[in-house]
Amino acid sequence: MKQEDLKTLLYDEIAKCNRCGFCLAHCPIYSVTGREWATPRGKNALVRAIIEGKIGWTPEIEDTLFRCTGCRLCTQTCFPAVETNQGVLAGRACLAEMKQYPKIVDRVSKALENNFNISDEPNEERIAWVEFLKDVPGHMYQKEKAKVLYFVGCVASFFPLVQKIPQAFVQILDKGEVDFSTLGGEEWCCGFPLIQMGMPDKMEKLIDHNQEKVEQLGAETVVFACPSCYHTWKEKYKINAEMLHSTQFMERLINEGKIKFKKGFNKTVTYHDPCDLGRNSKVFDPPRDILKAIPGLQLIEMANNRQLCICCGGGGDLEMIDPELSAAIAERKIQEIKDTGAEVVVTSCQQCIRTISGYARKKEIDLKVMDITEVVLEAMG
């Protein structure tokens, strides 16, 4: 993006910021850094100063703009609802144009170009998690035609810690007798990381490919266990099929009597709303309705929940860009989880699981973190 476009697109939006500073109370980055550069107000001020020609693209602006989790809690709690994250992403797009960004950005964008996934591994490996499952049908979840497409997403496909999500979800779908398929090695990254890295233009190829695959499969529904894939598809893709998050789809299966909880789940749990599912896609009730339908499970809400849920620290590719900062945010999140006294924290996002349990493991904190698909599978018995 060119600087002139920044002005056309965002000057009026950013000018709504009156610098009242109320966002400082909520921004996870400011909460752990205590520096003005971290604040949404500061980010608005910098984008504005750039637009007005009062400051150039300093290295500090790059650092600042690449340190935003995209959680949008600032916009949620801002009375004029300034879309700070849009300014941040547009700023990143300007920086990308000038090749001024953290090194990791190049690595990820090359991986997407070469292998269509963020891990830069051969894309056929996407389905490697299937090998650990018992009783896998002959088609290995790669059918030619299916009513439902399960779009797995890069992180859940390649990162061992969270492969348990697709492993659990396909078992639930099997038990629910759903006619579904994955795209296997033909699934390409949804493009979310490119938006975050300021290169939305490069998404087109990925979008076209994935859209075409939906059509070839003849899918009527596309389901995502990853909130960021879900949000990206909802915002950027144009398909005839309906798009649902796994929690919405599972809620439907429960209502249709296709998911039955024979075993239940005798534990107290708290639920963490992933930013891209909750605040950014407004899916708050389906996960809670699922948890409430499970016999024995007792749900305790965190102090900040639903629209006000605080990011785990893993949003907006922050874990890739600044793992220390991401960990500091996770530390606070874990404290809030611990304060509920719940035995298990349940979420519905592989990135939240990675950030929260990654930190807990490193610091040897006793904390059980589960994806909602795992809880459902266990409760089904």
Partner 1 sequence: MEREKLIEESIKIVGKENVLSSETDLLLYGYDASLFRGKPDCIVLPGSTEEVSKIVKFAHEAGIHVLGRGSGTNLSGGTIPTQGGIIIHFSRMNKILEIDIENQRAVVEPGVFTLALKNALARYGYVYQPDPASEKVSTFGGNFGENSGGPHCLKYGVTTNHILGAEVVLSNGEVVQVGGKSLDNPGYDLTGLLVGSEGTLGIATKLILRIMPKPEAVKTMLAIYNSLEDAGKTVSAIIGDGIVPATLEMLDKLTIKAVEESIHAGFPLDAEAVLIIELDGLKDGMERLAERIMEICKKNNVREVKAAKNEAERMQLWAGRKGAFGAIARLRPNYLVCDGTVPRTKLPEVLAKVMEVGRKYELSIANVFHAGDGNLHPLILFDERNEEELRKVHLAGSEIMKLCADAGGTISGEHGIGTEKKKEMLFVFTPQDIRAMEKVKRAFDPEDLYNPGKVLPEVEA
Site string for partner 1, 65-104 (x = CB under 8 A): -------------xxxx-----------------------
Q: How far is the CB of 35 from partner 1 (least distance, A)?
A: 7
**Which is nearer to partner 1, 34 or 122 (by Cβ)?**
34
Q: Please pick, from the candidates 4, 5, 19, 122, the single residue that binds partner 1 as defined by CB under 8 A.
A: 19
Of the chain, the end-to-end C-alpha distance in Å amounts to 52
Q: Cα(361)–Cα(357) distance, rounded to whole angstroms? A: 6
Please report whether residue 20 would count as binding partner 1 according to CB under 8 A.
Answer: yes
Rule CB under 8 A: is residue 309 a binding residue for partner 1?
no
Closer by beta carbon to partner 1, 215 or else 301: 301
What CA–CA distances, in Å, run from 151 to 36, 204, 275, 302, 313?
39, 18, 19, 30, 24
Output the smallest distance, CB 150 to partner 1, in A.
38
Q: Is 12 in the site for partner 1 (CB under 8 A)?
A: yes
Work out which of 45, 96, 197, 226 binds partner 1, going by CB under 8 A. 45
User: Shortest approach of partner 1 to residue 244 CB, angstroms?
Assistant: 29
Q: Of the listed pieces 1-9, 49-57, 117-125, 272-280, which binds partner 1 according to CB under 8 A? A: 49-57
Nearest Cα to 312, choosing from 269, 266, 279, 264? 279
Alpha-helix runs per DSSP H in 161-236 = 164-175, 192-196, 204-217, 227-236
Any contact of residue 24 with partner 1 (CB under 8 A)?
yes
Q: What residues numbered 212-271 form the site for partner 1, per CB under 8 A?
A: none
Given candidates 2, 35, 282, 362, which one binds partner 1 under the rule CB under 8 A?
A: 35
**9 is a site residue for partner 1 (CB under 8 A):** no
Instruction: Of 76, 72, 60, give the one whose Cα is nearest residue 29.
Output: 72
CA dihedral 289, 306, 360, 297 (to 10 degrees): -20
CB 198, CB 94: distance < 8 Å = yes
Task: Between 42 and 313, name the residue whose CB sits nearer to partner 1.
Answer: 42
Could you tell me which of 369, 378, 376, 379 has the C-alpha nearest to residue 272? 369
CA distances from 55 to 46, 52, 82, 155, 300 (A): 8, 8, 21, 37, 47
Residue numbers at the binding site for partner 1 (CB under 8 A): 12, 15-22, 24-25, 34-37, 42, 45-46, 49, 54-55, 58-61, 64, 78-81
